[in-house]
Amino acid sequence: MAEVVAPHGVFQGKVFEFPVRVYYEDTDAGGVVYYANYLKFAERARTEFVRALGVNQQADLESEEKSAFMVRSLTIDYKAPAVLDDLLIVTCEMVEAKGAGCVMKQEIRRGEQILVSLEVKLAHVSLSRRRPTRIPESLLQKIEAL
């Protein structure tokens, strides 16, 4: 039996690209992707971006410090709808990372067409203290190496 492999993305220079297929459950009564599901697609891509950098997020959650990234704010611009069976590419590009925060630009595309643009501001947070904490230097170095 063939090994099952989870979807994964690739870096194209500084930009991470993650494939997402639109399933029936992602659509609304009109047959287009429900607006909130684009946020889920973007979250999956950000998670895989961090994984592709070699960060074990589960280990971070189980460590003594217990830290994670949380969305502080985001701006989203819906330009065109996706529909059932579309193969989308969700991109992630870190445009700023310093202190306890970072800004990521994301796009959701069908081929060359941009369907959704996002600017996501993230905070690195100590979950045990519920306070912002500096992004680990090792992670900043990986981001800068892109």
- Give me the active site residues, please: 28
Whole-angstrom Cα distance, residue 24 to residue 4? 22
- Side-chain-side CA neighbours of 131 within 13 Å: the count stands at 4
Helices and strands in the chain: count of H runs, count of E runs: 3, 7
